Each structure stands twice: as C-alpha cells, then as structure tokens.
Amino acid sequence: MKKKVAVAMSGGVDSSLTAALLLERGFEVFGVTMLLSIGNYGEKPLTPNSYLLTPNCISDAQKVCNYLGINHHVADFREIFRAEIENYFVEEYLRGRTPNPCVRCNKKIKFGKLFDLAKNLGADFFATGHYARIIFEDGRFKLKKAVDLKKDQSYVLYNLTAEKLAKIILPLGEFSKVETRALAEKLNLPVADKPDSQEICFVPNDDYKNFIATREPSAQALKDGEIIDSSGKVLGNHHGVANYTIGQRKGLGIAAPQPLYVTRLDVENKKVIVDTNDKLFSTTLTACDAHWIYKPPLPKTLTAKIRYGSKFSECTVAEEKNFLRVIFSEPQRAITPGQSIVFYDRDEVLGGAIITEENFCK
C-alpha cells in the first residue's frame, strides 16, 4: 500500500513542485492549503505578493492539484492565525522588539496545527517546499542546511522536534531555486512562473506600521516622543517607538555630523536612542525560550545566526538558570531582541532561542 503524504500548498512554485516530485516517487499525495486571513487592515489593497492570504492562493493550489490529479483540502485557520501570529506580531512591536512571524508560524501553525490536521486526514508524512534537508544519521533524524546555502531556510525550522522530523519530507533541500524553476517548467506546472513572495504574508503592502496602528491606535509605543543620543541630548522627534528597529538609520529625520543608528528602544519613556555604528556591535547576547532538536552538553562551541539573513558565526553557548548566554568569537552587529538565534553544529540545526534582555527571561 502506498504511503500517504500531505503537502502544504501555498499556490507557489516550491510547494507545487514538492507535490509533483512526491507523486513521481510513488507516494499517494494530497494537498492542504491554509486560509489564514482575508480582509484589509488598512486602506491600501492587498498586493499580488500577499497571495498566501487571498482566494488566489487557494485557487492556484487547487489548479495545481487538479493538474496533478490529487485531492485538495482547505483548512480555515483564520482564528488561530490571528491569535497566535498576528497578535504576537503586534504585541512584540509594541514592546519595542522585532518579531519573527515566520519562525512562530512554522512552530504554531504549519508544523503545529496543519501537521496535526494532515495526520487526522490519514497522512503518513507531511511535506513542505522549504529549502532544508532531513537526514537519518548516527541513529537519529537530523535537520540540516539546504545544499543551496543562498536559499537555505533551515533557520526558520529550528522549533521542529526529533519526532516530527521522522514524519516530515523536504524534497527541495537538494535543489537550487534555479533548478526548482527549471523542473517546474519541465513538468508544465501551472504556477511555474509565479513570482516568489518577499513580504510578510499577512501585512498588506508590507506596511507593518499601518497594520499595527490599525490594530492598536492608542498604544504607548505609537505615541510621539524624542530621538536622543546616548548622552540624552534631544536630536529630533518620532511618531512611535514601534516604528523603529535596532540598527535602523534610514528615516530618522535627524541631522548629525556623522551617521547615527538606532541602538535602543525605550517604550516606557517614548525614547528612540541613537548612536554611531560602532556602538551596534557586541560579542554577547542572552536568549530565552530555548528549543533544542538535539541538545548538546553545554557549554559548547557552535555556529549561529542571529537573524535569517545574517552570516554564520562561531560562538560559545552556556546555560544560566532560565536563559542562554552566548559569547561570539567576533562582534555581531545589531543584535535585536525578538529575533531568533539558531545554533548549528556544522550543517546540522541543533536548536534555537529568542534574543532578549536578561531581565525579560522568566
């Protein structure tokens, strides 16, 4: 009897090719598409890149399923997505932090709620179009970087568990994006030339400021305040701490003899603190809410990324009560509370945690 695989299908080329490849491998495949949100939280219309939210993504996924001759299911996750992802996104900015909604969505929704639904629908395995690899090695399943490091998405998957890795298939981990496009075209998939989404899928026009202001218009973090330097000198004014992030230079609207960057956000006092670029570098951070796929003996020297687009850097990870202390071999720029730090042993993802101030760890 064929093994059943549920493929999370967004209507894009990656998930569509995933379904096609698994069919070729002899699996019984069906698609599942999440309905996450329909509606406009601002005055601007949804953009084409917001396809994950709109009926277009469902129709595109259905079109691919029809072409492949497989069943298609739509999961209405609007309520849980709003509670777990959209609300979290807003709350983090209102705390003066920079959230990572993709990491949380993978944990709570895609590899949480949707994974469970797929199992209830009879799936033996769950597959997505992520660029990462799952390898059985040394007696256990390991999550590893994609072959194409420029496209590697292992960073956003660190919340997976060893048990789930045994039930997940990631066919695109061996491919580059160019190869994916070429193969999709060769198979004549209806979405072969569909552009990739570059935006936060639930924020219309990538305007997160308007999204937050519409949700919480009277929040302290959206009130006017002062932009000051590290000595307390007032350099200008702002229209809400939530509109800034660590390391930002553009849009400050201040004049200074040298470039200044956001180094700290003080929501309580409505202050945006700026300083020179060299003040953005640090060799140490603390992180809470650690999750380990495989926890090594600590302290241990590993490599890590402090955000999705950052480079891999060597660091020593130690455990202290309810948080992790991470010391890097080289200074890191713009360490940002709310972002994830993800730990690697060579090409294997061991786990990760949320970057924060030490006094935020419970």
Q: List the catalytic residues.
A: 105, 201
Sheet hosting strand 271-275, strand order edge to edge: 234-238, 225-229, 271-275, 261-266
SS3 state at 186: helix
Backbone φ and ψ for 187, nearest 5 degrees, come out as: -85, 0
Largest CA-CA distance found in the chain, in angstroms, rounded: 72
Tokens 């890097």 locate to 328
Q: Which of 110, 114, 133 is nearest to 123 (CA)?
A: 114
Q: Which of 288, 214, 213, 216 is nearest to 243 (CA)?
A: 213
Question: How many alpha carbons lie under 13 Å from residue 258 in its C-beta half-sphere?
Answer: 6
Q: What angle do CA 91, 352, 199 make, to 5 degrees?
A: 50
* C-alpha to C-alpha distance for 327 and 317, rounded to whole angstroms: 7
Residue 269 CA to chain centroid, in angstroms? 30
* C-alpha to C-alpha distance for 233 and 230, rounded to whole angstroms: 7
